[in-house]
Amino acid sequence: MVQQVTRGIKISVDTTFEGSFYKNYKIHYAFGYTVTIENQSKDSVQLNARHWEIYDALNNIETVSGEGVIGRKPVLKPGESHTYSSGCLLTSPFGAMEGHYDMINLTTTKSFKVIIPTFKLSATFAIN
């Protein structure tokens, strides 16, 4: 698990290897990840958008941006947390993801970015 705190918002990420499959004569590796966003600040905040950079060992980079997470824009009061799970496909058994969330402090109405720390994606069969 990797963790990082930005401006009182703690991000924790745990990953799993889900398996591999062939699609259009090409092998794909499926990974799952679970993110917990914990508000350790004194103000209520809302997550409005996400931005991901997804890397694989074959030097492919995919950028994903969009509103909220899993169709939601959670509001977190001080001490509250929000956990969600998602996944990605890579064309190699190793990769990584990193990014940020665009959030707003509901007390000050100021927008800010919360860093999602880089986390590794590794197929279990390929780990020494």
Q: For the chain, which domains are there? A: 2-122 (2.60.40.1470)
Residue 1 burial by Cβ neighbours in a 10 Å radius (0-12, 13-18, 19+): exposed
- d(C-alpha 82, C-alpha 78), whole Å: 12
Residue pLDDT, tens place only, 61-114: 999 999 999 999 999 999 999 999 999 999 999 999 999 999 999 999 999 999
Is the pTM higher than 0.75? The answer reads yes
- d(C-alpha 120, C-alpha 33), whole Å: 10
111-122/81-90 β-pairing: unpaired
Residue pLDDT, tens place only, 18-74: 999 998 899 999 999 999 999 999 999 999 999 999 999 988 899 999 999 999 999
